[in-house]
């Protein structure tokens, strides 16, 4: 097994309402700053990402959004909204004395990246958005139930845990389970939520990794249910419309996604690319949602290199 690359700096950043956010830097301290925004919400920036991404000579900044990964309190949903996450990224930029940065986002991280770019366009030198998710109602509906006929057995198990509610109520039903004070309830619900998401995310690579236990799955499941049951705390009319004519829409933007992505709504990447005056979109044939696809990972790295001025 290849040893994990070690960060050259790391720490905990005090936020508000008792939250503390884990961050680290690896790669080239003198390279262009590139912030990786993880998926979920609640997935965290796993240490193995250092080895996946650090082939590029950039100053990688990885961090765990509030409630996720090594940030504390673990799986906390109080004072945890999209606006809070955008504010946290700005605090981190100031804390690390970074002037401008490339935002390299995966899946849910796209929401945070675009939210930040809309509010602080002068601090963003470019966007690289992999397997984008924008938090719209239609995307949430797709995540919860759009694949019920593609993966019927997994869907029956997933919806059955919540008592087979109407699909529009499924996220709310899971939110109640995942915030139950009874560990037997919220840990069982976390396992099933993670199992359903992994079924979609691992297609078509289908590595059949065993699901984590409920404790390990809890931050991802609880935070996702928290956000999805509240339409991701996004203002109307949504990120696509907010980008129209905004300064952020003139930023360099590279979008990379797989043709076989079952987790994110088909066609959303193309619609997002149209919002940027210099948007580029690369669809990887046969790739799914996750970085398990070598071709998707290679395209993600290449887009980051281009956005960082390395090619």
Distances (CA, A) of 217 to 71, 140, 222, 224: 15, 20, 9, 11
Q: pLDDT exceeding 70 applies to what percent of the chain?
A: 98
Tell me if 3 is assigned to some domain.
no
Active site residue 261: yes
Q: Give yes or no: residues 206 and 97 share one domain.
A: no
Q: Of 191, 211, 232, at which residue does a domain stop?
A: 232
Q: Is 160 exposed, middle or buried (0-12, 13-18, 19+ CB in 10 A)?
A: exposed
Q: Give yes or no: residues 206 and 266 share one domain.
A: no
Q: Give yes or no: residues 60 and 126 share one domain.
A: yes
Tell me if 2 is assigned to some domain.
no
Tell me if 1 is assigned to some domain.
no
Q: Give yes or no: residues 118 and 145 share one domain.
A: no
Q: What is the pLDDT of residues 223-242, one digit of tens each?
A: 999 999 999 999 889 999 99
Q: Of 212, 232, 252, at which residue does a domain stop?
A: 232
In which domain, by residue range, is 185 found? 137-232
Q: Give yes or no: residues 130 and 160 share one domain.
A: no
The pLDDT of residue 311 is above 90: no
pLDDT on residue 207: 63
Is the CA virtual torsion 152, 203, 159, 107 positive or negative? negative
Q: Give yes or no: residues 219 and 278 share one domain.
A: no
Q: Give yes or no: residues 113 and 246 share one domain.
A: yes
Q: What is the pLDDT of residues 179-215, one digit of tens each?
A: 999 999 999 999 999 999 999 999 997 766 666 778 8
Active-site choice (19, 194, 254, 289): 289
Active site residue 308: no
CATH code where residue 78 lies: 3.40.50.1820
pLDDT on residue 52: 83
Q: What is the pLDDT of residues 157-173, one digit of tens each?
A: 999 999 999 888 999 99
Tell me if 288 is assigned to some domain.
yes
Active site residue 289: yes
> What are residue 256's phi and psi, to 5 degrees?
-125, 130
Considering the entire predicted model, what is its pTM? 0.96
Tell me if 250 is assigned to some domain.
yes
Q: Of 187, 203, 232, at which residue does a domain stop?
A: 232
Q: What is the pLDDT of residues 43-83, one digit of tens each?
A: 999 998 998 887 789 999 999 999 999 999 999 999 999 99
Q: Give yes or no: residues 24 and 157 share one domain.
A: no
């Amino acid at each position: 097994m290849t040893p994990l690359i070690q960060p050259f700096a790391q720490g905990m950043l005090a936020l508000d309402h008792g939250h503390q956010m884990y961050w680290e830097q690896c790669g080239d301290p003198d390279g262009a700053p590139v912030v990786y925004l993880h998926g979920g919400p609640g997935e965290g920036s796993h240490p193995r990402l250092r080895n996946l991404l650090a082939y590029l000579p950039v100053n990688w900044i990885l961090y765990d959004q509030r409630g996720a990964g090594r940030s504390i309190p673990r799986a906390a949903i109080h004072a945890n909204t999209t606006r809070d996450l955008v504010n946290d990224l700005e605090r981190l930029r100031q804390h690390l004395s970074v002037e401008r940065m490339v935002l390299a986002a995966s899946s849910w991280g796209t929401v945070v990246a675009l939210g930040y770019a809309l509010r602080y366009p002068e601090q963003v030198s470019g966007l690289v958005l992999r397997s984008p998710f924008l938090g719209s109602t239609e995307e949430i509906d797709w995540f919860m139930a759009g694949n019920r006929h593609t993966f019927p057995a997994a869907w029956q198990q997933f919806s059955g845990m919540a008592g087979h509610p109407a699909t529009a109520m499924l996220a709310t039903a899971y939110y109640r389970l995942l915030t139950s004070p009874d560990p037997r309830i919220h840990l069982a619900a976390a396992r099933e939520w993670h199992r359903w998401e992994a079924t979609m995310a691992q297609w078509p690579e289908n590595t059949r990794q065993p699901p984590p236990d409920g404790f390990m799955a809890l931050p991802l499941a609880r935070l996702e249910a928290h956000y999805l049951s509240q339409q991701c705390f996004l203002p109307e009319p949504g990120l696509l419309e907010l980008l129209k004519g905004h300064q952020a829409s003139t930023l360099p933007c590279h979008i990379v996604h797989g043709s076989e992505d079952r987790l994110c709504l088909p066609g959303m990447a193309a619609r997002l690319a149209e919002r940027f005056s210099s948007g580029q979109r690369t669809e990887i044939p046969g790739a799914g949602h996750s970085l398990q696809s070598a071709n998707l990972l290679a395209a993600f790295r290449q887009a980051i290199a281009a956005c960082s001025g390395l090619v």
